[in-house]
Amino acid sequence: MSLKERAAIVQYIEKEKIIAIIRAQSSQALMEVVEALKRGGIHCIEVTMTTPGALEILEEVRKHMDDVLFGAGTVLDPETARLCIASGAQFLVTPSLNERVIEMAHRYDVPIIPGALTPTEILRAWECGAEVVKVFPASSLGPSYIRELKGPFPHIKLCPTGGVNLENITDFLKAGASCVGVGGSLVRKDLIEGKQWEELTDLARRFKEAVRLL
Residues with catalytic function = 46, 134
DSSP code string of the chain: --HHHHHHHHHHHHHH-EEEEE--SSHHHHHHHHHHHHHTT--EEEEETTSTTHHHHHHHHHHH-SSSEEEEE---SHHHHHHHHHTT-SEEE-SS--HHHHHHHHHTT--EE-EE-SHHHHHHHHHTT-SSEEETTGGGT-HHHHHHHHTT-TTS-EEEBSS--TTTHHHHHHTT-S-EEE-TTTS-HHHHHTT-HHHHHHHHHHHHHHHTT-
